[in-house]
Amino acid sequence: MGYTDQRFDVNLSILFTELPLLERPAAAAAAGFGAVELWWPWIETPTPDRAELDALKKAIEDAGVRLVGLNFYAGKLPGPDRGALSVPGEESDRFRANVDVAADFAASVGCTALNALYGNRVEGADPAAQDELALENLTLAARAADRIGATLLIETLNQPESPLYPLVSAPAAIEVVDKVNAATGLGNAKFLLDVYHLSMNGEDVGRAIEAYADKTGHVQIADNPGRGAPGTGSLPLADLLDQLKKAGYDGWVGLEYKAGDRPSAESFDWLPREARAAR
């Protein structure tokens, strides 16, 4: 099977960034993809003007692609921030202000997965208090996701690149998933299994798949080292995707890698064009 039996989407917050945001959906479509995902595009505000939301919706619809994943507001990404929902004060307030805005936008384009980055530890803040705040805000997010028929995703990052982010192992993220589901009773919180981040943490990705495929709601890939396209590093990505498929995962696989010093459209040579279209 390998790469020819998967449902791939392109993350437009890390690929095609040489283009303005509103041109990226069409560029992904021109490269043969039928599905895309995004980090929250407006890093300065959780509540952009309606005109900006409508313009992005139109760009997605005009391109004929499907938005399959969207982050809630997470601060400055790329940049030093790794989420807002567990950060006391203004950032947590901004996350809450964004919850319904993001959910309503997702609903308007048929997006059914919303990713909530946990947020960094903050100097001087009690980690237990941050975790309590996180659960409160994740509960709000899960309910907003449920309102539109969506999944809430909880993601592991990696310690070398995100040393202040507390969820740097698959079990840590799964623990939060279970807590959110217990708090809401909705069962719509799932694990975002990012192969690159798990490998950067030194985890056995195959074992993580074996243990948590049934709790996985979305997958993202990049090769390691370098966070480049498949084949630029040493990860057996095709084999890992086969393992996921055999374990029962049939969801989307987000391409969340760096194109390097070439145009993004040239970074998909590892994937036959006929395998790119959403199925």
111-142: pLDDT as tens digits: 999 999 999 999 999 999 999 999 999 999 99
**In the CATH scheme, what is the code of domain 2-275?**
3.20.20.150
Chain-centroid distance, C-alpha 43: 15
6, two tokens: 């998967």
| Crossing angle of helices 205-212 and 170-184, rounded to 10° | 20
36-68: pLDDT as tens digits: 999 999 999 999 999 999 999 999 999 999 999
Q: Which residue among 37, 91, 155, 203 is the active-site one?
A: 155
**Catalytic-residue membership of 18:** no
Residue 278, Ramachandran bin (φ over 0: left; ψ between -120 and 50: alpha; else beta): beta
Q: Which residue among 37, 91, 203, 256 is the active-site one?
A: 256
Q: By percentage, how much of the chain surpasses pLDDT 90?
A: 96
Residue 1 clears pLDDT 70, i.e. is over it: no
19, two tokens: 């283009």
Closest CA to 96 of 130, 131, 136: 136
Q: Is the pTM of this model over 0.85?
A: yes
**Catalytic-residue membership of 266:** no
**C-alpha pair distances (Å), 121 with each of 8, 72, 84, 211, 278:** 33, 18, 10, 27, 37
Q: Which DSSP string corresponds to 62-118? A: HHT-EEEEEEPP-SSTTTT--BSTTSTTHHHHHHHHHHHHHHHHHHHTT--EEE--B
86-115: pLDDT as tens digits: 999 999 999 999 999 999 999 999 999 999
Total residue count of the chain as it appears in this document: 279
What pLDDT, on a 0 to 100 scale, did the predictor assign at position 271?
96
Q: Around 236, how many Cα atoms within 13 Å sit in the side-chain half-sphere?
A: 8
DSSP state of 252: E
With bands split at pLDDT 50, 70 and 90, how would you rate the model's confidence at 277?
A: confident
Domains of the chain, by residue range, sit at: 2-275
